[in-house]
Amino acid sequence: MARYELPAPHLHEGAPLARLAAGQGESGVTYRTLQRWLAAYRRGGL
């Protein structure tokens, strides 16, 4: 579910992906991973 929850602040509030990735620390979700998830969401939704 993280794949849809982590980018939510970017989609709904315009939060920068870099800030979201920096806040993930030990979860291991990188900026590039967030970019890929966001691109997949935009292509096909949930």
CA 45/CA 25 separation, integer angstroms: 26
Question: The tokens of 43 are what?
Answer: 């292509």
CA 25/CA 34 separation, integer angstroms: 13
Cα 7–33–26 angle (5° rounding)?
85
Three-class SS state of 1: coil
CA 22/CA 2 separation, integer angstroms: 15
Quote the pLDDT of residue 39. Answer: 93
* pLDDT tens digits, one per residue of 13-38: 999 999 888 887 666 789 999 999 99
Q: Is the pLDDT of residue 5 over 80?
A: yes
Quote the pLDDT of residue 22. Answer: 85
Query: pTM score, two decimals?
Result: 0.74
Q: Is the pLDDT of residue 1 over 80?
A: no
